[in-house]
A = this chain, B = another copy of it.
Amino acid sequence: MAATTDQPTAPPRDHNRTREDFYGDIAPLNMTPLWEVMSSLITPEPVSRVKPCLWRYDEVRPWLLRSGDVISAKEAERRVLILENPGMPGESKITNSLYAGLQLILPGEVAPSHRHAQSALRFIVEGEGAYTAVDGERASMSRGDLILTPSWTWHDHGNETEEPTVWLDGLDIPIVQAFETSFVERYPEDSQPVSRPSGDSAARFGHNMRPFGYVAASGASPVFSYPYADYREALEQMRARDEWDVCDGLKMEFINPIDGGPVMPTISCFVQLLPKGFATDPYRSTAASVYSVVDGEGEAVIGEQAYDLHERDVIVVPSWVPVRFSAGDDLVLFSFSDRGIQQKLGLWREQRGHSPGSG
Protein backbone atom coordinates (compact mmCIF):
# COMPACT_ATOMS: atom_id res chain seq x y z
CA MET A 1 0.00 0.00 0.00
CA ALA A 2 1.57 3.29 -1.10
CA ALA A 3 1.88 6.12 1.44
CA THR A 4 -0.51 9.03 1.14
CA THR A 5 2.02 11.80 1.63
CA ASP A 6 1.99 12.53 -2.09
CA GLN A 7 -1.72 13.36 -1.98
CA PRO A 8 -2.58 16.93 -3.01
CA THR A 9 -3.15 19.09 0.04
CA ALA A 10 -6.53 20.63 0.72
CA PRO A 11 -7.26 23.88 -1.14
CA PRO A 12 -6.35 26.96 0.92
CA ARG A 13 -9.05 27.78 3.42
CA ASP A 14 -11.13 30.92 2.86
CA HIS A 15 -12.97 32.17 5.93
CA ASN A 16 -15.52 34.02 3.83
CA ARG A 17 -16.82 30.87 2.30
CA THR A 18 -19.91 29.27 3.70
CA ARG A 19 -21.11 25.70 4.02
CA GLU A 20 -23.31 26.34 0.99
CA ASP A 21 -20.22 27.38 -0.95
CA PHE A 22 -18.60 24.13 0.12
CA TYR A 23 -21.62 22.13 -1.01
CA GLY A 24 -21.36 23.85 -4.36
CA ASP A 25 -17.67 23.06 -4.58
CA ILE A 26 -18.12 19.34 -4.08
CA ALA A 27 -21.26 18.89 -6.18
CA PRO A 28 -19.29 18.47 -9.44
CA LEU A 29 -17.46 15.57 -7.79
CA ASN A 30 -20.83 13.84 -7.21
CA MET A 31 -20.59 14.40 -3.49
CA THR A 32 -23.08 15.91 -1.09
CA PRO A 33 -23.06 16.31 2.72
CA LEU A 34 -24.80 13.61 4.71
CA TRP A 35 -25.43 15.86 7.68
CA GLU A 36 -27.95 17.96 5.72
CA VAL A 37 -30.14 14.96 4.89
CA MET A 38 -29.34 12.37 7.57
CA SER A 39 -32.46 13.07 9.62
CA SER A 40 -34.66 12.45 6.59
CA LEU A 41 -32.79 9.31 5.51
CA ILE A 42 -32.65 7.66 8.93
CA THR A 43 -35.86 8.42 10.78
CA PRO A 44 -36.71 7.53 14.39
CA GLU A 45 -39.78 5.70 13.12
CA PRO A 46 -41.01 4.78 9.64
CA VAL A 47 -42.25 7.89 7.83
CA SER A 48 -44.45 6.40 5.17
CA ARG A 49 -45.10 8.00 1.81
CA VAL A 50 -48.14 5.74 1.63
CA LYS A 51 -51.56 7.25 2.38
CA PRO A 52 -54.41 5.14 3.66
CA CYS A 53 -56.82 4.72 0.77
CA LEU A 54 -60.06 2.88 0.07
CA TRP A 55 -61.25 1.79 -3.38
CA ARG A 56 -65.02 1.20 -3.15
CA TYR A 57 -65.93 -1.52 -5.58
CA ASP A 58 -69.32 -0.07 -6.39
CA GLU A 59 -67.62 3.16 -7.43
CA VAL A 60 -64.76 1.50 -9.27
CA ARG A 61 -66.66 -1.21 -11.11
CA PRO A 62 -68.47 0.94 -13.67
CA TRP A 63 -65.18 2.47 -14.81
CA LEU A 64 -63.50 -0.86 -14.84
CA LEU A 65 -66.20 -2.17 -17.17
CA ARG A 66 -65.86 0.98 -19.25
CA SER A 67 -62.17 0.17 -19.72
CA GLY A 68 -63.47 -2.77 -21.73
CA ASP A 69 -64.76 -0.28 -24.28
CA VAL A 70 -61.58 1.75 -24.22
CA ILE A 71 -59.13 -1.01 -25.05
CA SER A 72 -59.09 -4.75 -25.74
CA ALA A 73 -57.29 -7.22 -23.50
CA LYS A 74 -55.09 -8.14 -26.44
CA GLU A 75 -54.11 -4.57 -27.27
CA ALA A 76 -53.53 -3.76 -23.62
CA GLU A 77 -51.70 -7.07 -23.07
CA ARG A 78 -53.14 -6.67 -19.57
CA ARG A 79 -56.26 -4.56 -19.18
CA VAL A 80 -55.65 -3.27 -15.67
CA LEU A 81 -56.55 -0.13 -13.79
CA ILE A 82 -53.68 0.46 -11.39
CA LEU A 83 -54.74 1.22 -7.83
CA GLU A 84 -52.28 4.04 -7.37
CA ASN A 85 -51.54 5.30 -3.92
CA PRO A 86 -52.45 9.02 -3.62
CA GLY A 87 -49.24 9.54 -1.66
CA MET A 88 -47.13 8.57 -4.65
CA PRO A 89 -48.89 9.80 -7.81
CA GLY A 90 -47.36 8.61 -11.05
CA GLU A 91 -45.34 5.83 -9.40
CA SER A 92 -47.71 2.92 -10.07
CA LYS A 93 -47.47 1.75 -6.46
CA ILE A 94 -50.10 0.94 -3.85
CA THR A 95 -47.44 0.69 -1.13
CA ASN A 96 -43.82 1.71 -1.39
CA SER A 97 -42.81 -1.86 -2.22
CA LEU A 98 -45.90 -3.33 -3.88
CA TYR A 99 -48.15 -2.78 -6.88
CA ALA A 100 -51.88 -3.51 -7.14
CA GLY A 101 -54.48 -3.19 -9.84
CA LEU A 102 -57.89 -4.43 -10.92
CA GLN A 103 -57.85 -6.51 -14.08
CA LEU A 104 -60.86 -7.05 -16.34
CA ILE A 105 -61.17 -9.84 -18.85
CA LEU A 106 -64.33 -10.03 -20.93
CA PRO A 107 -66.05 -13.11 -22.35
CA GLY A 108 -64.02 -14.51 -25.22
CA GLU A 109 -60.90 -12.52 -24.41
CA VAL A 110 -57.39 -13.78 -23.76
CA ALA A 111 -54.64 -11.88 -21.96
CA PRO A 112 -51.65 -13.16 -23.95
CA SER A 113 -48.98 -15.41 -22.50
CA HIS A 114 -45.76 -13.95 -21.14
CA ARG A 115 -43.37 -14.41 -18.24
CA HIS A 116 -41.43 -11.90 -16.17
CA ALA A 117 -39.14 -11.64 -13.16
CA GLN A 118 -41.97 -10.00 -11.26
CA SER A 119 -44.08 -12.27 -9.05
CA ALA A 120 -47.85 -11.89 -9.16
CA LEU A 121 -50.94 -12.94 -7.24
CA ARG A 122 -54.48 -12.81 -8.56
CA PHE A 123 -57.31 -12.55 -6.06
CA ILE A 124 -60.62 -13.09 -7.83
CA VAL A 125 -63.18 -10.37 -7.12
CA GLU A 126 -65.93 -11.15 -9.63
CA GLY A 127 -66.78 -13.94 -12.02
CA GLU A 128 -66.92 -17.72 -12.09
CA GLY A 129 -64.93 -19.99 -14.35
CA ALA A 130 -62.38 -17.94 -16.25
CA TYR A 131 -58.90 -19.44 -16.15
CA THR A 132 -55.26 -18.62 -15.57
CA ALA A 133 -52.75 -20.91 -17.24
CA VAL A 134 -49.40 -21.36 -15.46
CA ASP A 135 -46.62 -23.35 -17.09
CA GLY A 136 -49.07 -25.46 -19.06
CA GLU A 137 -51.76 -26.00 -16.45
CA ARG A 138 -55.03 -24.11 -16.25
CA ALA A 139 -56.57 -23.07 -12.95
CA SER A 140 -60.20 -22.03 -12.77
CA MET A 141 -60.75 -18.56 -11.30
CA SER A 142 -63.79 -17.95 -9.15
CA ARG A 143 -64.75 -15.32 -6.63
CA GLY A 144 -62.49 -15.46 -3.60
CA ASP A 145 -59.84 -17.75 -5.09
CA LEU A 146 -56.15 -16.92 -4.80
CA ILE A 147 -54.07 -17.72 -7.89
CA LEU A 148 -50.28 -17.36 -8.13
CA THR A 149 -48.16 -16.69 -11.19
CA PRO A 150 -44.65 -16.80 -9.69
CA SER A 151 -41.53 -15.22 -11.11
CA TRP A 152 -40.58 -16.43 -14.60
CA THR A 153 -43.58 -18.75 -15.02
CA TRP A 154 -45.39 -18.56 -18.36
CA HIS A 155 -48.91 -17.34 -17.73
CA ASP A 156 -51.98 -16.23 -19.66
CA HIS A 157 -55.58 -15.59 -18.72
CA GLY A 158 -58.74 -16.46 -20.62
CA ASN A 159 -62.44 -15.99 -20.16
CA GLU A 160 -64.62 -18.60 -21.87
CA THR A 161 -67.65 -17.74 -19.75
CA GLU A 162 -70.55 -15.42 -20.51
CA GLU A 163 -69.65 -12.90 -17.80
CA PRO A 164 -66.82 -10.47 -17.19
CA THR A 165 -64.17 -11.60 -14.75
CA VAL A 166 -62.37 -9.17 -12.45
CA TRP A 167 -59.49 -9.80 -10.11
CA LEU A 168 -57.12 -7.90 -7.88
CA ASP A 169 -53.54 -8.10 -9.12
CA GLY A 170 -50.74 -7.91 -6.55
CA LEU A 171 -47.18 -7.68 -7.86
CA ASP A 172 -43.70 -6.90 -6.52
CA ILE A 173 -42.98 -4.42 -9.33
CA PRO A 174 -41.49 -1.77 -7.00
CA ILE A 175 -39.20 -4.36 -5.41
CA VAL A 176 -37.93 -5.52 -8.79
CA GLN A 177 -37.48 -1.83 -9.66
CA ALA A 178 -35.51 -1.20 -6.47
CA PHE A 179 -33.11 -4.04 -7.29
CA GLU A 180 -33.18 -3.29 -11.05
CA THR A 181 -33.75 -6.92 -11.99
CA SER A 182 -36.62 -6.77 -14.49
CA PHE A 183 -36.84 -9.31 -17.29
CA VAL A 184 -39.79 -10.17 -19.51
CA GLU A 185 -40.48 -12.46 -22.46
CA ARG A 186 -43.56 -12.80 -24.68
CA TYR A 187 -44.80 -16.22 -25.70
CA PRO A 188 -45.05 -16.73 -29.49
CA GLU A 189 -48.80 -17.48 -29.25
CA ASP A 190 -51.49 -15.76 -27.19
CA SER A 191 -52.24 -18.98 -25.30
CA GLN A 192 -49.58 -21.40 -24.22
CA PRO A 193 -50.39 -25.05 -24.93
CA VAL A 194 -52.08 -27.01 -22.15
CA SER A 195 -49.60 -29.70 -21.14
CA ARG A 196 -50.98 -30.68 -17.73
CA PRO A 197 -54.53 -31.44 -16.60
CA SER A 198 -56.20 -29.03 -14.21
CA GLY A 199 -55.57 -30.00 -10.63
CA ASP A 200 -52.22 -31.54 -11.48
CA SER A 201 -50.19 -29.22 -9.26
CA ALA A 202 -52.70 -29.50 -6.44
CA ALA A 203 -52.57 -33.29 -6.69
CA ARG A 204 -48.77 -33.32 -6.58
CA PHE A 205 -48.18 -30.63 -3.97
CA GLY A 206 -51.44 -29.55 -2.38
CA HIS A 207 -52.24 -32.41 0.01
CA ASN A 208 -49.22 -32.50 2.33
CA MET A 209 -47.44 -34.73 -0.11
CA ARG A 210 -45.00 -34.20 -2.89
CA PRO A 211 -43.53 -36.31 -5.66
CA PHE A 212 -40.81 -38.65 -4.44
CA GLY A 213 -37.40 -37.01 -4.77
CA TYR A 214 -38.79 -33.66 -5.90
CA VAL A 215 -36.32 -30.76 -5.67
CA ALA A 216 -37.67 -27.20 -5.70
CA ALA A 217 -36.50 -25.05 -8.62
CA SER A 218 -37.47 -21.76 -6.97
CA GLY A 219 -38.66 -20.28 -3.70
CA ALA A 220 -42.25 -20.01 -4.93
CA SER A 221 -45.07 -22.41 -4.12
CA PRO A 222 -45.74 -25.09 -6.74
CA VAL A 223 -49.37 -24.88 -5.61
CA PHE A 224 -50.68 -21.94 -7.62
CA SER A 225 -54.38 -22.19 -6.76
CA TYR A 226 -55.73 -21.62 -3.25
CA PRO A 227 -59.52 -21.97 -3.59
CA TYR A 228 -62.01 -19.98 -1.58
CA ALA A 229 -63.84 -23.12 -0.45
CA ASP A 230 -60.70 -24.51 1.23
CA TYR A 231 -59.80 -21.53 3.36
CA ARG A 232 -63.40 -20.64 4.12
CA GLU A 233 -63.98 -24.12 5.51
CA ALA A 234 -60.70 -23.93 7.41
CA LEU A 235 -61.75 -20.66 9.03
CA GLU A 236 -65.12 -22.11 10.01
CA GLN A 237 -63.48 -25.18 11.51
CA MET A 238 -61.09 -22.99 13.47
CA ARG A 239 -64.00 -20.92 14.64
CA ALA A 240 -65.27 -23.94 16.53
CA ARG A 241 -62.49 -23.37 19.03
CA ASP A 242 -63.43 -19.77 19.66
CA GLU A 243 -59.92 -18.54 20.22
CA TRP A 244 -59.87 -15.07 18.70
CA ASP A 245 -56.69 -13.07 18.58
CA VAL A 246 -57.41 -9.55 19.86
CA CYS A 247 -55.63 -7.98 16.88
CA ASP A 248 -56.26 -10.53 14.12
CA GLY A 249 -59.37 -12.55 14.94
CA LEU A 250 -58.64 -15.82 13.17
CA LYS A 251 -55.83 -15.23 10.72
CA MET A 252 -54.02 -17.68 8.46
CA GLU A 253 -51.06 -17.35 6.14
CA PHE A 254 -51.08 -19.09 2.78
CA ILE A 255 -47.80 -20.99 2.53
CA ASN A 256 -45.45 -22.71 0.14
CA PRO A 257 -45.76 -26.36 1.26
CA ILE A 258 -42.23 -27.10 0.05
CA ASP A 259 -40.59 -24.92 2.68
CA GLY A 260 -43.37 -23.56 4.84
CA GLY A 261 -42.51 -20.02 3.82
CA PRO A 262 -44.52 -17.30 2.06
CA VAL A 263 -46.27 -18.32 -1.16
CA MET A 264 -43.69 -16.34 -3.12
CA PRO A 265 -40.34 -14.95 -1.92
CA THR A 266 -41.47 -11.33 -2.23
CA ILE A 267 -45.16 -11.49 -1.33
CA SER A 268 -46.90 -12.91 1.75
CA CYS A 269 -50.65 -13.64 1.58
CA PHE A 270 -53.13 -13.91 4.41
CA VAL A 271 -56.82 -14.41 5.10
CA GLN A 272 -58.68 -13.66 8.31
CA LEU A 273 -62.13 -13.95 9.82
CA LEU A 274 -63.65 -11.44 12.22
CA PRO A 275 -67.01 -12.60 13.62
CA LYS A 276 -70.00 -10.30 13.59
CA GLY A 277 -69.63 -7.68 16.30
CA PHE A 278 -65.92 -8.30 16.83
CA ALA A 279 -63.66 -5.26 17.14
CA THR A 280 -59.88 -5.68 17.08
CA ASP A 281 -57.30 -3.92 19.20
CA PRO A 282 -55.08 -1.52 17.29
CA TYR A 283 -52.19 -3.13 15.49
CA ARG A 284 -49.30 -1.80 13.48
CA SER A 285 -46.31 -3.34 11.78
CA THR A 286 -43.65 -2.19 9.35
CA ALA A 287 -45.30 -4.28 6.63
CA ALA A 288 -47.76 -2.06 4.76
CA SER A 289 -50.73 -4.20 3.76
CA VAL A 290 -53.35 -4.35 1.03
CA TYR A 291 -56.75 -5.79 2.01
CA SER A 292 -59.58 -7.08 -0.14
CA VAL A 293 -62.96 -7.62 1.48
CA VAL A 294 -64.04 -11.16 0.64
CA ASP A 295 -67.24 -11.46 2.65
CA GLY A 296 -69.29 -9.34 5.01
CA GLU A 297 -68.98 -5.73 5.95
CA GLY A 298 -67.46 -3.64 8.67
CA GLU A 299 -65.17 -0.75 9.36
CA ALA A 300 -61.44 -0.06 9.35
CA VAL A 301 -59.94 2.76 11.37
CA ILE A 302 -56.47 3.64 10.04
CA GLY A 303 -54.72 6.16 12.23
CA GLU A 304 -57.64 8.47 13.02
CA GLN A 305 -59.60 7.93 9.81
CA ALA A 306 -62.55 5.52 9.58
CA TYR A 307 -63.53 3.66 6.39
CA ASP A 308 -66.65 1.62 5.73
CA LEU A 309 -65.87 -1.75 4.24
CA HIS A 310 -68.08 -3.70 1.85
CA GLU A 311 -67.55 -6.80 -0.25
CA ARG A 312 -64.88 -6.44 -2.96
CA ASP A 313 -63.55 -3.14 -1.60
CA VAL A 314 -59.78 -2.72 -1.50
CA ILE A 315 -58.01 -0.77 1.24
CA VAL A 316 -54.34 -0.10 1.96
CA VAL A 317 -52.72 0.38 5.39
CA PRO A 318 -49.31 2.11 5.50
CA SER A 319 -46.22 0.98 7.38
CA TRP A 320 -46.35 1.62 11.14
CA VAL A 321 -49.80 3.25 11.08
CA PRO A 322 -52.18 1.56 13.55
CA VAL A 323 -55.29 -0.11 12.16
CA ARG A 324 -58.41 -1.39 13.91
CA PHE A 325 -61.12 -3.46 12.29
CA SER A 326 -64.68 -4.04 13.40
CA ALA A 327 -67.10 -6.50 11.85
CA GLY A 328 -70.72 -5.42 11.17
CA ASP A 329 -71.28 -8.88 9.78
CA ASP A 330 -68.94 -11.87 9.69
CA LEU A 331 -66.01 -10.24 7.97
CA VAL A 332 -63.49 -12.17 5.83
CA LEU A 333 -60.44 -10.24 4.69
CA PHE A 334 -57.75 -11.28 2.24
CA SER A 335 -54.49 -9.36 2.48
CA PHE A 336 -50.96 -9.31 1.11
CA SER A 337 -47.73 -7.57 2.09
CA ASP A 338 -43.93 -7.81 2.02
CA ARG A 339 -43.80 -9.18 5.58
CA GLY A 340 -41.88 -12.27 4.50
CA ILE A 341 -38.94 -10.34 3.05
CA GLN A 342 -38.84 -7.93 5.95
CA GLN A 343 -38.50 -10.87 8.31
CA LYS A 344 -35.78 -12.47 6.15
CA LEU A 345 -33.89 -9.18 6.23
CA GLY A 346 -34.39 -8.60 9.96
CA LEU A 347 -36.31 -5.38 9.30
CA TRP A 348 -39.82 -6.39 10.41
CA ARG A 349 -41.34 -4.99 13.61
CA GLU A 350 -44.86 -5.01 15.00
CA GLN A 351 -46.74 -3.39 17.83
CA ARG A 352 -49.87 -4.98 19.22
CA GLY A 353 -52.42 -2.94 21.12
CA HIS A 354 -52.18 0.66 22.19
CA SER A 355 -48.69 2.15 22.12
CA PRO A 356 -47.33 3.41 25.45
CA GLY A 357 -48.67 6.87 26.20
CA SER A 358 -51.01 6.84 23.22
CA GLY A 359 -53.97 6.73 25.58
Q: Is the CB of A212 within 8 A of B37?
A: no
How far apart sit A42 and B286, CA to CA, in the bound complex (Å)?
26
Asked whether A272 is an interface residue with its Cβ less than 8 Å from the other chain, the reply is yes
Q: Is the CB of B101 within 8 A of A1?
A: no
Given contacts A50-B180, A259-B260, contact A237 B200 (CB under 8 A): yes
Q: Is the CB of A347 within 8 A of B270?
A: no
Q: Is the CB of A203 within 8 A of B237?
A: yes
Q: Chain A 138-175, CB within 8 Å of chain B: the 1/0 string? A: 00000110000001000000000000000000000111
What is the CB-to-nearest-CB distance from A261 to chain B, in angstroms, rounded to a whole number?
9
Q: Chain A 169-191, CB within 8 Å of chain B: the 1/0 string? A: 00001111111111111000000
Contacting residues, chain B, for A259 (C-beta < 8 A): 259-260
Number of copies of this kind of chain in the complex: 4
Q: Is the CB of A41 within 8 A of B173?
A: yes
Q: Is the CB of B77 within 8 A of A38?
A: yes
Given contacts A25-B63, A253-B210, A257-B255, contact A200 B1 (CB under 8 A): no
Contacting residues, chain B, for A218 (C-beta < 8 A): 346
Q: Chain A 296-316, CB within 8 Å of chain B: the 1/0 string? A: 000000000000000110000
How far apart sit A76 and B39, CA to CA, in the bound complex (Å)?
11
List residues 200-252 of chain A with CB under 8 A from any CB of chain B: 200, 202-204, 206-214, 216, 218-221, 223, 226, 230-231, 233-235, 237-238, 240-241, 245, 248, 251-252
How far apart sit A347 and B264, CA to CA, in the bound complex (Å)?
12
Q: Is the CB of A42 within 8 A of B184?
A: yes
User: Please, which residue of chain B has its CB at the minimum distance from the CB of A252?
Assistant: B209
Closest 10 CB pairs of A and B: A203-B237, A34-B80, A180-B319, A212-B251, A35-B76, A181-B347, A10-B62, A181-B286, A258-B260, A31-B81
Other A-B pairs, 20, CB within 8 Å; known A35-B71, A209-B226, A210-B252: A13-B66, A13-B69, A19-B70, A29-B60, A32-B92, A34-B82, A46-B183, A96-B180, A97-B179, A97-B180, A151-B346, A200-B238, A200-B241, A202-B237, A203-B237, A208-B221, A209-B254, A212-B252, A213-B253, A220-B346
